[in-house]
């Protein structure tokens, strides 16, 4: 096989792989964002309880992704009382009782 033919085959394979990656739906594209309760500045904590430190505060009107959910301290908020906590970023959790998910249960996979 000639060098030119090998390069052509390698280039075709690399192009096909790139097209497969570009055309496949990414996890972020499928990620859904949920609204925080109106008029609420929501504390984001480093774990699923109010005893964990606040890492930041979400502004009114914020929307958050939910990567996974985990049980934790029971909290009462605008959407009821729940022990579900939403993981919105690496090491960041918000009480599900403040997030409009449309469900009283889990809407995402449980955190590992």
**Beta bridge mates, 95:** 85
Q: What are the pLDDT digits (tens) for 21-35?
A: 344 444 555 789 999
Q: Does the structural domain 28-100 have CATH classification 3.40.50.1000? A: no
pLDDT of residue 21: 38
In degrees and rounded to multiples of 5, residue 109 shows phi and psi of -60, 155
pLDDT of residue 4: 61
**Beta bridge mates, 101:** none
Q: What are the pLDDT digits (tens) for 8-18?
A: 554 445 444 43
**Beta bridge mates, 70:** 85
Q: What is the mean pLDDT of the chain?
A: 85
C-alpha of 75 from chain center? 20
pLDDT of residue 20: 41
> Which of 93, 85, 87 has its CA nearest to residue 46?
93
């Amino acid at each position: 096989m000639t060098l030119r033919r090998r390069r052509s085959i390698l280039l075709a394979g690399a192009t096909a792989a790139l097209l497969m990656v570009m055309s496949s739906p990414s996890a972020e594209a499928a990620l859904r964002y949920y609204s925080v309760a109106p008029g609420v500045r929501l504390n984001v904590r480093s774990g699923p309880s109010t005893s964990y430190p606040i890492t930041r505060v979400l502004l009114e009107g914020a929307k958050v992704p939910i990567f996974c959910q985990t049980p934790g301290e029971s909290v009462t908020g605008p959407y009821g009382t729940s022990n579900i906590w939403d993981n919105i970023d690496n090491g960041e959790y918000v009480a599900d009782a403040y997030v409009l998910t449309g469900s009283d249960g889990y809407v995402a996979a449980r955190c590992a």
